[in-house]
Amino acid sequence: MADSNDRKARAGGRGARKALRSAPDLGMLPALKRGLPLCEPMDQDQVERIDDASMAILEEVGVIFRDDIALEDWKRAGADVRGERVHLDRGLVRELISSIPSDWTYRARNPERSLPFGGKHSIFVPMTGAPFLRDLDDVRRWPTMADLNMFHKLAHMSPALHSTAHHIVEPMDMKVSHRHLHITYSSMKHSDKTFMGMTTSGKNAEDVMDMCEILFGRDVMEETPVVTGNCNGNSPLVWDETMLSAMRAFVKRRQPVLCSPFVLGGANTPASVAPAVAQLNAEALSALAYTQVIRKGAPAIYGHYLSTVSMKSGAPMAGTPEISLMNFMIGQMARFYGVPWRSSNNLGGAKTFDAQAGYESAMTMNAVLHAGCNYIWHSAGWNEAGMHCSVAKFVVDAEMCAMGYRMAEGPRWDDFDEALQAVRDVGPGGHYLGHPHTLENFERAFFMPKLFDNNSIEQWQAEGSVEITARALDYAKKLLRDYEEPKLDAGIDEALRDYIARREREVPAEDALNTEY
């Protein structure tokens, strides 16, 4: 009788494990704590050479700040301001950036999804800004607000995505002046992960801050970041009023911004890797320093967007060797200054979800992970140089992030002795498939992709010869059928809706940025 009960218990355990394997695991992974050595191609002398070159650019060439408020701020801070051009002494820059925190915790709506950030911790964030999408039928078209809602739901259900970003796609059915309100609400409503906030103008950024205050409370925002903004520079060496006014809105409320020069290597930087990094570094440092002029001790992130330009067509390229080298070098520079940094992931110029899209994305991801990036943006959906977000690529990229996450964790040692005992148990000529160690550990021992087909060609043909795009779209449809909304508190939801309605009455509905209301 005892043996019979033991057999039933073992069978029940196997059945439970099988049921667990067949059910999707949609719990969010913790922030990635990297365990791999960093790829650092520069020695200390070369790091200091880049630093010296960047500081010389700031002192001798200067940076244009096209913003009257920023110019007055810099004068009060002791900078050498000549018209719109600001010359920054390296001592002033070093003093200012020294007050940027090296790490913090992102507070999510669901506290269980809050994230340590900086140092060895990294997070994956979907792409943003696509004016087109390839939809659930793989048709390229203009996006709507419903499409943005869909992507926020998919991001919510993707374990390796730690954020829903903001305007993954541009909702073309909304007036430009009101979009930021509905984009922010979609991020807050459809997921309880952290998210990004729109920085399309200073007034829009202030609206985002107000909505975050409704969701989290002013006291929480003073204590810890709840949202991330992005401020792009106009390379070479220009920061404009739109970005700087948005930066002020975030930083005054102690919310971090990505200080992101927009690099088109060979077009708006020198056509050489190391000098391009020196210029980018100068641009990023000037913005990072300004965040501390706005509010000392506020969190900020060393950012950039990296692309190289085809010398045949002038088109931006992704996944090139030089982009990887720049990522490695920028990671070293960010660590040299002790600030967290952002890069872009899974980029590509392919027009469909094809082999080019996969190769370019894989090249980019491996470089970013080995470079030690903290804020890994554009991690899902990016295609056609960012012109469209592909639903199929979005869900496959999310699984690629899970694979990259597992690789970057490094080897696990917690079952080392137990597994060595299995070698003694099995001995020469045996196999491990039925060994207790295998049965207990196979689910975590080796990553098992859901969307990649590793069956024999005969089985693949018998099951309809379905290729990756069709599998991915079927999977996305299943995720959306299974989606359960993490409900907002009713009072908070009402307050957010009331705020949106009020701001829509105050801001004219037009296809222009709100800079006045």
* Mean per-residue pLDDT, 374-395: 97
Confidence of residue 15 (pLDDT cuts 50, 70, 90): very low
Confidence of residue 443 (pLDDT cuts 50, 70, 90): confident
| Residue bearing tokens 């809706």 | 497
Please give the Cα distance from 96 to 117 (Å, whole number). Answer: 21
pTM: 0.94
pLDDT of 2 over the 60 cut:
no
Name residue 123's amino acid.
I
| Residue 459: its H or E element | helix 457-462
pLDDT on residue 317? 87
Q: Which two tokens stand for residue 138?
A: 């793989």
Confidence of residue 133 (pLDDT cuts 50, 70, 90): very high
Confidence of residue 322 (pLDDT cuts 50, 70, 90): very high
Using the Cα atoms of residue 46, residue 47, residue 50 and residue 56 in order, give the sign of their dihedral: negative
CA distances from 128 to 152, 211, 265, 371, 492 (A): 11, 20, 21, 22, 26
* Mean per-residue pLDDT, 336-360: 96
Q: Residue 402's closest CA among 352, 446, 370, 350? A: 446
pLDDT on residue 25? 63
pLDDT on residue 195? 98
Contact 247, 237 (CB under 8 A): no
* More confidently predicted of 272 and 5: 272
Q: Which two tokens stand for residue 177?
A: 């002046």
Cα Rg of the chain, angstroms: 24
pLDDT of 26 over the 90 cut:
no
* Mean per-residue pLDDT, 325-347: 97
Q: Residue 358's closest CA among 465, 264, 451, 476? A: 451
Please give the Cα distance from 72 to 479 (Å, whole number). Answer: 51
pLDDT on residue 22? 43
* Mean per-residue pLDDT, 255-268: 93
Confidence of residue 10 (pLDDT cuts 50, 70, 90): very low
**Average model confidence (pLDDT) across the chain:** 94
Helical residues (DSSP H) of 217-268, grouped into ranges: 218-223, 241-252
Please give the Cα distance from 414 to 102 (Å, whole number). Answer: 30
* Mean per-residue pLDDT, 240-245: 98
Please give the Cα distance from 289 to 58 (Å, whole number). Answer: 11
